[in-house]
């Protein structure tokens, strides 16, 4: 979604739209382990207004994200529900105003006549992600010995030690 800066007024306006976030999948592809899979679109509701040259955005993002559990390796879905609040201020490199440190101030800059909200929405979505994907806080994961999903089956380590086929299977896995 793009908004013209000169159409942002002091009285808040509401906006409902869907934003494409699929390119986040590229960010998580290739070299990094894929922990999450993002939907093509998320729903966004925003109220926006200006105070002087600063632009304020407040609202929420909703959607469904797929995660890959770091313990049992299964995929699971979780709802994305995030309140968003961000302020855009004129880029100081183009305005030559006082120095602003983006990290300290929690501000982002704009320098165009038209603001593309997509990068801000994507950034907000990334901020909602858990540091480690878990299908469930209590997920018991896979047994490192027999590979059984301990959420579904008991560990077979003791049994497999007596079973020559399982011993062979374990050896093959170790070779990989
Ligand atoms: Zn799990
Ligand atoms: Zn086991």
Burial class (CB in 10 A: 0-12, 13-18, 19+), 32: exposed
In this structure, what DSSP letter does residue 61 have?
E
Select the more confidently predicted residue: 115 or 175: 115
Measure CA 83 to chain center. 14
> Residue 155: nearest ligand to its CA?
2
Report the separation in Å between the CA atom of 138 and the middle of ligand 1, taken as the mean of its atom positions: 8
Gyration radius of the chain's alpha carbons: 24
CA 51/CA 139 separation, integer angstroms: 48
Burial class (CB in 10 A: 0-12, 13-18, 19+), 120: buried
pLDDT surpasses 80 at 166: no
Residue 111's pLDDT band (boundaries 50, 70, 90)? confident
Residue 98: per-residue pLDDT:
47
> Residue 76: nearest ligand to its CA?
1
CA 123/CA 105 separation, integer angstroms: 16
Report the separation in Å between the CA atom of 130 and the middle of ligand 1, taken as the mean of its atom positions: 14
Whether 80 and 63 have beta carbons less than 8 Å apart is answered as: yes
Report the separation in Å between the CA atom of 147 and the middle of ligand 2, taken as the mean of its atom positions: 6
> Residue 143: nearest ligand to its CA?
2
> Residue 138: nearest ligand to its CA?
1
Report the separation in Å between the CA atom of 43 and the middle of ligand 1, taken as the mean of its atom positions: 27
Q: pLDDT tens-digit profile of 33-43?
A: 478 989 999 99
Q: pLDDT tens-digit profile of 47-98?
A: 999 999 899 999 999 999 999 999 999 999 999 999 999 899 887 765 444 4
Q: pTM of the entire structure?
A: 0.74
């Amino acid at each position: 979604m793009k908004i013209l800066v000169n159409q942002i007024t002091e009285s808040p306006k509401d906006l409902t739209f869907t934003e494409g976030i699929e390119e986040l999948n590229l960010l998580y592809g290739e070299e990094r382990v894929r922990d999450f899979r993002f939907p093509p679109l998320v729903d966004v509701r925003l109220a926006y207004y200006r105070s002087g040259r600063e632009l304020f955005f407040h609202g929420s993002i909703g959607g469904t994200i797929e995660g890959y559990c770091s313990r049992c390796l299964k995929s699971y879905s979780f709802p994305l529900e995030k309140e968003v609040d961000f302020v855009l201020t004129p880029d100081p490199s183009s305005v030559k105003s006082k120095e602003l440190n983006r990290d300290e101030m929690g501000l982002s800059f704009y320098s165009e006549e038209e603001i593309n909200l997509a990068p801000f929405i994507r950034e907000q979505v990334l901020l909602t992600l858990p540091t480690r994907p878990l299908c469930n806080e209590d997920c018991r994961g896979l047994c490192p010995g027999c590979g059984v999903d301990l959420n579904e089956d008991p560990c077979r380590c003791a049994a497999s030690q007596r079973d020559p086929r399982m011993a062979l299977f374990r050896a093959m896995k170790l070779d990989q």
